[in-house]
Chains A and B, each alone.
Chain A
Amino acid sequence: EPEVTQTPSHQVTQMGQEVILRCVPISNHLYFYWYRQILGQKVEFLVSFYNNEISEKSEIFDDQFSVERPDGSNFTLKIRSTKLEDSAMYFCASRAGGRTDTQYFGPGTRLTVL
């Protein structure tokens, strides 16, 4: 069964450093999402991406964040200058398209900012 994959599973970085989290969505899916989950809190929407541009972003997704689909398979989330409060699980999700289909999530990347 096709699945969303994410790398790395765990990333440790120093405050102020740049990180890139990578996702490979399901191959025929057209819509891509990033969510995050701070430990003990809700899963929160960050950004949606379609046709090589951002469709919508939350207020969390400030200028420190960017997304890119550099080739036909990868979808990346970059945090330019990490802060302690960026420590969270980051989930990538993808959706095929159409009115009633659903999002499938990857296993997540645990980001720890020291």
Chain B
Amino acid sequence: QKEVEQDPGPLSVPEGAIVSLNCTYSNSAFQYFMWYRQYSRKGPELLMYTYSSGNKEDGRFTAQVDKSSKYISLFIRDSQPSDSATYLCAMSRINDYKLSFGAGTTVTVRA
């Protein structure tokens, strides 16, 4: 079983739709959870960071963590064409900050 699983998509949605992305993980030692956005041939850009189970909201973005199910999600409301990118989940253990990444989900928002 892979340490971090993420459906690579691709995912295509019309402008204004809600984008739903998720990752599962197998290692219960993961305690920090991040979502990064990556445009083609660019570096990952941090979008959201969460530590505890529950929801965290930042503008149009909501991150959810369910540690009991080892499942994390990212929702993008009112999606825009500029949201078209690859979204990477990443996670790390306490006192060990090396990141384990998912494969990334490629999202296209159609105007």
A108 contacts which of B36, B41, B88, B97 (Cβ < 8 Å)?
A: B41
Residues of B in contact (CB 8 Å), total 23
Q: DSSP class of A's interface residues: helix, strand, loop or mixed? A: strand
* Contact between B43 and A42, CB atoms less than 8 A apart: no
* Contact between A48 and B98, CB atoms less than 8 A apart: yes
B44 at interface by CB-CB < 8 Å: yes
On chain A, the residues within 8 Å of B88 by CB distance are: 43
Residues of A in contact (CB 8 Å), total 26
Give the A-binding residues of B (Cβ under 8 A). Answer: 32, 34, 36, 41-46, 49, 51, 88, 90, 94, 96-104
- In addition to A4-B43, A41-B103, A89-B41, 15 A-B residue pairs with Cβ atoms within 8 Å of each other are A42-B101, A43-B88, A45-B99, A48-B97, A56-B96, A91-B43, A91-B44, A95-B97, A100-B49, A100-B51, A103-B46, A105-B36, A105-B43, A105-B44, A108-B43
